[in-house]
Amino acid sequence: MELSIVIPVYNEEENLEPLIRETTRALAPSGKSYEIIVVDDGSNDKSYAILTRLHGTETRLKVVRLRRNFGQTAAVAAGLAHAQGEVIVAMDGDGQNDPGDIPALLARLDEGFDLVSGWRFPRQDPFWSRRLPSSIANALISWMTQVKLHDYGCTLKAIRRDTAKDLKLYGEMHRFIPAIAYERGARIAEIKVHHRPRHGGKSKYGLARTFRVVLDLLTVKFLLSYGTRPLHIFGLLGLLSGVVGLLLAVFLTAQKLFYGVDIGARPLLLLAVLLIVISFQFVTMGLLGEMIVRTYHESQDKPIYAIKEILEARRTA
């Protein structure tokens, strides 16, 4: 199988039928073998009933139904896990993405990339609640992860199978897929794709998502930069606060011993003690982190590197 289209769906009863129809029509000219995997993320409208009906007529449709609403990231992860295609295309279930863009994504992928991400342009969402927070988030994520994309929020992307299977997604990390893949050595590209206003149903997100994105960014940044060496960051913070704390303590002790100054009521004393205590905490946290990293990698034989290819030796004697 050449292609798997993965579509997470939560209460999209009005959008499913047109979307599946449009997708099959967009893929027909390519002559590729493909499957459409719709993950029903615990919808409580008629989505599943509609999918069951479509499943009867559309032979390329595969439906994965989750037991409850686990969230978009989990739904995408379920779709990736069940995909069999060499290339996996992820797409929204509300029709805001245009299946007509899929051939362009695949063409770009064939130029030698492992992941091609869509850039919704022009974006068809409200300005204050969506486009503004989103452009701030894009700048922040690009800056922190070093993977410069214009649109991290676009679900429409094409990913090579080995890259996709390597992804471990938690929280609301589907939007960090390019950054996570990049850390594993994937080559990333971005192309402009169409974006359409939502026709039926409601958006599942509001402004509250912004905070979760920022927190997830913190996790991603930490894991990408220090995931295999937590002591380097915690130890550095610990050493810094420890050195400053010690200097202060020495200064105060000298004042007390040589000049007889009363130091008992000085805020500086409190600060010195605080810095010394947290320096021990930082270092201990870093050491615990080091142990957890070892457990994480060694318990599941997960290497700290990713191999692209091996050319075996053809002779050993």
Q: What is the binding site for ligand UDP (CB under 6 A)?
A: 8-10, 12, 41, 69, 71-72, 75, 92-94, 96, 203-205
Which partner from the list ligand UDP, Mg ion, none does 8 bind, CB cut-off 5 to 8 Å by kind? ligand UDP
What does the alpha-carbon distance between residue 196 and residue 254 come to, in Å, rounded to a whole number? 70
Strands annotated E in the chain: 3-9, 34-40, 61-65, 87-90, 115-120, 157-160, 188-193
| Closest to 190 (Cα-Cα) out of 133, 153, 151 | 151
Which partner from the list Mg ion, ligand UDP, none does 190 bind, CB cut-off 5 to 8 Å by kind? none
**Which DSSP category does 185 fall into?**
T
Which residue is at the shortest CB distance from ligand UDP? 93
Which partner from the list ligand UDP, Mg ion, none does 37 bind, CB cut-off 5 to 8 Å by kind? none
Task: Choose between 120 and 160: whose C-beta lies nearer to Mg ion.
Answer: 120
Which partner from the list Mg ion, ligand UDP, none does 204 bind, CB cut-off 5 to 8 Å by kind? ligand UDP
What does the alpha-carbon distance between residue 213 and residue 170 come to, in Å, rounded to a whole number? 12
Q: Measure the CA dihedral 42/46/50/53, to 10°.
A: 100
Task: Choose between 69 and 281: whose C-beta lies nearer to ligand UDP.
Answer: 69
If one asks whether residue 14 binds Mg ion (CB under 5 A), the answer comes out as no
Task: Choose between 10 and 282: whose C-beta lies nearer to Mg ion.
Answer: 10
If one asks whether residue 94 binds Mg ion (CB under 5 A), the answer comes out as yes
Three-state secondary structure call for residue 5: strand
Residue with tokens 């913190």: 218
Which partner from the list ligand UDP, Mg ion, none does 47 bind, CB cut-off 5 to 8 Å by kind? none
Which partner from the list ligand UDP, Mg ion, none does 133 bind, CB cut-off 5 to 8 Å by kind? none
**Which DSSP category does 87 fall into?**
E
CB of 78 to Mg ion, least distance (A): 19
Task: Choose between 9 and 285: whose C-beta lies nearer to ligand UDP.
Answer: 9
What does the alpha-carbon distance between residue 12 and residue 15 come to, in Å, rounded to a whole number? 5
Task: Choose between 48 and 234: whose C-beta lies nearer to ligand UDP.
Answer: 48
Contact predicate 157/118, CB 8 Å:
yes
Which partner from the list Mg ion, ligand UDP, none does 238 bind, CB cut-off 5 to 8 Å by kind? none
Residues 6+ apart with CB under 8 A from 206: 129
Task: Choose between 9 and 283: whose C-beta lies nearer to Mg ion.
Answer: 9
158 phi and psi angles, rounded to 5 deg: -115, 135
If one asks whether residue 47 binds Mg ion (CB under 5 A), the answer comes out as no
CB of 279 to ligand UDP, least distance (A): 42
What does the alpha-carbon distance between residue 201 and residue 184 come to, in Å, rounded to a whole number? 36
Q: Which two tokens stand for residue 137?
A: 């988030």
Question: Taking contact as CB under 5 A, which single stretch among the options 73-81, 89-97, 218-226, 261-269 is the one that binds Mg ion?
Answer: 89-97
Number of chain positions touching Mg ion (CB under 5 A): 3
32 phi and psi angles, rounded to 5 deg: -80, 155
Task: Choose between 160 and 209: whose C-beta lies nearer to Mg ion.
Answer: 209
Q: Vertex 171, ends 161 and 119: CA angle to 5°?
A: 55
If one asks whether residue 96 binds Mg ion (CB under 5 A), the answer comes out as yes
Residues that bind Mg ion (CB under 5 A): 92, 94, 96
